[in-house]
Amino acid sequence: MFESIKDILVISLGAIFGANARWVISRYLAKVIGPVFPYGTLVINVAGSFIVGFFMIWASERVLLDPRWRLLIVVGFCGAFTTFSSFAFETMAYFQQGQWALMMTNFVSNNLLCLIAALGGMALARAM
């Protein structure tokens, strides 16, 4: 039923770093590019998808890491780093505001680029 305390601590450690990385990157991109479009969410979701794709293949097919590494990187870091809930809210906010072009751009770019990034990460891990 409950996981070991070590597993919980490993996930928590990854989540601390993932959440803070998400906050820093989002704020930085909003400052540099501007807040008109949620570029931070897009960049983070694409990067997180790449990291998960790469790490899962690399850790399971290439180096056979201890399963706690998956908890640290995929569950903890990427779970707190990626922002699907922010993506969903931002997309629906555009919908409610009648900003159809921004809504569709956000929806298509997040989904398409994240799938491509995950596939790229998987391919890179297999090529190593």
Tens-binned pLDDT, residue by residue, of the chain (128 aa): 567 999 999 999 999 999 999 999 999 999 999 989 999 999 999 999 999 999 999 998 999 899 999 999 999 999 999 988 889 989 999 999 999 999 999 999 999 999 999 999 999 999 99
* Reported pTM: 0.84
Domain ranges of the chain: 5-127
Q: What is the pLDDT of residue 84?
A: 86
Give the angle 58-113-44 at the CA atoms, nearest 5°. Answer: 75
pLDDT attached to residue 83: 84
Q: What is the pLDDT of residue 80?
A: 97
Cα separation values, 85 from 18, 31, 79, 88, 90, Å? 15, 21, 11, 5, 9
The closest of 122, 106, 123 to 45, measured between CA atoms, is 106
* pLDDT recorded at residue 2: 63
- pLDDT at res. 56: 94
